[in-house]
Amino acid sequence: MPSTRLFPHERWTPQLNSLTERYQKASPYPHIVLDSFLEEAVAKEAMNEFPKPRETSWIQYKHFNENKLGKSKWQEFPPLLGRLADELNSPEFLGFLSKLTGISGLLADPLLEGGGLHQSETNGFLNIHADFTMSHYYPWRRRINLILYLNEGWKEEWNGSLELWDKNMKRCEEKVLPILNRALIFNTDQRSHHGFPDRLKCPPDVTRKSLALYYYTPLESHHVKVRSTNYHARPGETLKIPLIWLDKMAIHFYSLLKIRFGLSDDFASRILGFFNRKK
């Protein structure tokens, strides 16, 4: 087990030129899938210490457009996962990421807003969406997502592959199976549609686990329009459109409250958790 750095810069840095070319040419938007992202021992330890749904407190992302758990408080992460989040937000890794994506001046979010540990149980899902475009707490524009999957033996028939859709929501161009030690890095803007909308069919003792980190750049202008997470129905899901829209408007209203009053997602989580227990 490495005693210092957890990300193997010595393995990935020499490949940056070819990786950058792959990233920029990818469709439906710039992205890359990196298998064996970490050393195998590091990835397995991160998976093994990942807290179970009932072992700690989680943010309840449970509404019409998604059903998952999240944890963004670094101080509550298990030791290795905490170190890993720190390292993937370090200046050295930000430099690697800037070279990979071609976006200079990337910033790490100290609050892990919307990111951190994510976990979905049986019947979990996340409708296709484009992410919120700016931080609710800093004058920053959201630019890059990094998702590291921590699921050994995940089967395709359990669903859970992240679908990447074209900008017009006409077709899915790629599906990324969430297997252990696979990282997906992609540009995020109002047209980078993604999600895993089919309900998970994994066994009750299995969950879909990931570490998600989001990166930003300073706002170029204060006149940039703030966009909340924008959910979409897939072709053929016409009956879902009104409910997706209503739920999306509720999320937008909540986003405005976050900006105005500095609310945290824990506040909404307690409300959603209350109603979830009442069901």
Neighbours of 122 (CB within 10 A): 16
Specify the pLDDT at position 272.
47
Residue 1 lies in a domain: no
DSSP string, 198-266: SPP---TT--EEEEEEEEEEE-S-TTSPP---EE-PPTT-GGGHHHHHHHHHHHHHHHHHHHHH---HH
- 240-279 pLDDT, tens per residue? 999 998 988 887 776 666 556 565 666 554 544 444 444 4
Domain count, the chain: 1
Per-residue confidence (pLDDT) for residue 246, from 0 to 100? 92
Asked whether residue 42 is domain-assigned, the answer is yes
Residue 110 in domain: yes
Q: Is the peptide bond before 28 cis (omega within 30 degrees of 0)?
A: yes
**Is 3 inside a domain boundary?**
no
- pLDDT of 248 reads 81
The reply to whether 252 falls in a domain is yes
176-195 exposure pattern, b = at least 16 Cβ within 10 A, e = fewer: bebbbbbbbbbbbeeebbbb
Evaluate whether residue 4 is within a structural domain: no
SS3 of 82, please? helix
Host domain of residue 186: 9-278
Query: What CATH number has the domain bearing residue 214?
Result: 2.60.120.620
Q: Any idea which residue has 């998604």 for tokens?
A: 66
For the chain, which residues score pLDDT lower than 70? Answer: 1-3, 221-225, 254-279
Q: Report the distance separating Cα 266 and Cα 59, nearest Å.
A: 6
140: nearest Cα among 97, 98, 101, 111: 111
pLDDT of residue 5: 85
3-state secondary structure of 139: coil
- In a domain, residue 201? The reply is yes
Any domain includes 268? yes
Gap between the Cα atoms of 97 and 141, Å rounded: 16
- Kindly tell me the sign of the dihedral angle through the C-alpha atoms of 251, 255, 256, 261: positive
Q: Count the alpha carbons within 13 Å of 9 in the hemisphere toward its beta carbon.
A: 13
